[in-house]
Amino acid sequence: MENLTPGKISLAFRKAVSAGLMRNEDSALIFYDLSFLGERLAQLKSCFPASALHGLAIKACPLAGIMKLSRELGCGVEAASLGEVMLALHLGFSPGMVVYDSPVKTAEELEFALAEGVHLNLDNFSELERVKEQIAKWRNGEIKSTVGIRINPQIGEGSISESSVAGEYSKFGVPLNYKRQELIHAFLENDFLTGMHLHVGSQGCSLEMLTEGCGKLYDLMLEINSLTMVKKGFEQISTFDIGGGLPVSYFRDKRPALMEDYADALKQRAPLLFVNKFPQPASSAPQAGLRLITEFGRWTYTNAGWTVSRVEYVKQDPGVNTAMIHVGADLFVRECLNPRDWLHEYTLLDRAGNIKEGVSENPWNLAGPLCFSGDILAKGVPLPEVQEGDNIVIHDTGGYTFSMWSRYNSRFAPRIIGYYNDGETFVLLKEREGMADILKFWT
Ligand SMILES: Cc1ncc(COP(=O)(O)O)c(C=O)c1O
């Protein structure tokens, strides 16, 4: 699927204006093309066996309306905290569709997850011991949840070190190269441990890295399953969670690997993951068959969303101009703090939403409204002549933007609007914040 074009965005913007959705106070707005998102989810499902659980990473986009839509389209969720688990259950996800992955779960959080029956990915051996005790003490050996363990395949870092988690060292998971025997032992000792989980990184990791990370765990899974077959009479590992991490393109002329390419590569390297086996109902006896879990966040949401901000002021300095806009490091934490790795495309629209053409003599800095000098979304952007009242579109903002909203300076978070069919219909996903929201946060 192609990224949304300036033409399509301008059309939806103009329709939103006509529909009266952009009030004067909406100095910035976030939009989601829900038709595009629906197509992405259909594409994802078509690449993997029908029995796969697609646990979309909530951290990328926790908007309730979007989570409900993905649930209706048959997807599950990956939760990075108890709050995300609770949000998912509240929005009607059945526990079996929720994958709980935090690296720092308390005993109470584990107990809650086990009582609800969500799928748990444990991060380390100490957590495994806790769960083992809880199952013995509180649950009489019975368990509704399926339980896996996160393993770091140690295949190296991608191009963005802050979002790479499969290097020699990572704060996540059990390092495969150092702890291989302990891992095998943990599976042999604990019948309830029936899953393996990995996540290589988010953006910046090549398809080869993602595939090899899965491949290394797949080999271990085959080894453990043949061992348990001999010793226990069944193949113990029945859930294989490949995590997320497929990169997206933030630029229309750069083509990243497709989900189809990733699935094909994985099928070659780890064919059993593509055998369509439906999970058996949970019981104390381990079940045959393999369930594949995916956890894509960025790939799912990023290209479906865009943000628009009114240009409040224009400043001219020697060699560079500045457009003062209404979103900065509050919505774009990574872009402002690590501009080398996180870049977007921009389109300039006039007041009415028509695309402005051309390139002005001097490039443009896009400066946010926050009270520190690093609050600059982008520097030296070639744009047409910008005027007060114009609208800057920031493309591909559907993932890891609003979910990382910062309260610094207490700005009102913008209204968020979803639309179908290029703006034929709109749905309000979240209202613009007001005084009550600020007061609630700070009280
Ligand atoms: C454990 C885990 N799973 C899934 C994801 C989603 O990654 P992405 O959004 O790149 O697909 C992340 C993101 O960091 C993660 O930490």
- Dump pLDDT digits (tens) for 115-161: 999 999 999 999 999 999 999 887 666 789 999 999 999 999 998 98
Is 41:61 a contact under the CB 8 Å cutoff? Answer: no
Mean pLDDT to the nearest integer, 384-411? 98
Phi first, then psi: give them for residue 151, nearest 5 degrees: -125, 130
Is 381:359 a contact under the CB 8 Å cutoff? Answer: no
Mean pLDDT to the nearest integer, 260-276? 94
Enumerate residues 6+ apart whose C-beta is below 8 A from 24. Answer: none
Torsion of CA 350, 416, 252, 387, to 10 degrees: 20
Collapse the DSSP code of 28 into the 3-class scheme (helix H, G, I; strand E, B; otherwise coil) and give the result.
Answer: strand
Question: Which of 297, 210, 208, 302 is CA-nearest to residue 250?
Answer: 302
Strand 346-349 versus strand 291-294 pairing type: unpaired
Q: Return d(Cα 122, Cα 195) in angstroms, integer.
A: 10
* CATH no., domain 36-300: 3.20.20.10
* Joined tokens for residue 146: 């399926």
Residue 245 Cα: closest atom of ligand 1? 10
Q: Which of 44, 59, 119 is the best mutation target for the ligand 1 pocket, counting ligand atoms within 8 Å of the beta carbon and taking the most?
A: 59
Composition of the chain by helix, strand, coil, percent to 5: 35, 20, 40
Q: What is the helix (H) or strand (E) element at residue 291, kind and residue range?
A: strand 291-294
Where does ligand 1 bind, in terms of residues with CB under 6 Å?
Answer: 57, 60, 78, 101, 199, 202-203, 243-245, 295-299
Dump pLDDT digits (tens) for 340-352: 999 999 999 999 9
Domain 6-32+302-442 belongs to what architecture?
Answer: Beta Barrel (2.40)
Strand 147-152 versus strand 28-33 pairing type: unpaired
Q: What is the pLDDT of residue 92?
A: 98
Mean pLDDT to the nearest integer, 382-410? 98
Phi first, then psi: give them for residue 30, nearest 5 degrees: -115, 135
Q: Return d(Cα 431, Cα 418) in angstroms, integer.
A: 12
Q: Which of 98, 159, 199 is the best mutation target for the ligand 1 pocket, counting ligand atoms within 8 Å of the beta carbon and taking the most?
A: 199
Closest Cα to atom 16 of ligand 1? 199
Q: What is the pLDDT of residue 279?
A: 47
Residue 247 Cα: closest atom of ligand 1? 10
Q: Tell me the average pLDDT of the chain.
A: 95
Q: What is the pLDDT of residue 161?
A: 87
Q: Which of 105, 200, 295, 401 is the best mutation target for the ligand 1 pocket, counting ligand atoms within 8 Å of the beta carbon and taking the most?
A: 295
Dump pLDDT digits (tens) for 224-253: 999 999 999 999 999 999 999 999 999 999
Dump pLDDT digits (tens) for 63-72: 999 999 999 9
Q: What is the pLDDT of residue 288?
A: 56
Residue 297 Cα: closest atom of ligand 1? 9
Centre of ligand 1 from the C-alpha of residue 201, in Å: 7
Q: What is the pLDDT of residue 226?
A: 97
Domain definitions of the chain by residue range = 6-32+302-442, 36-300
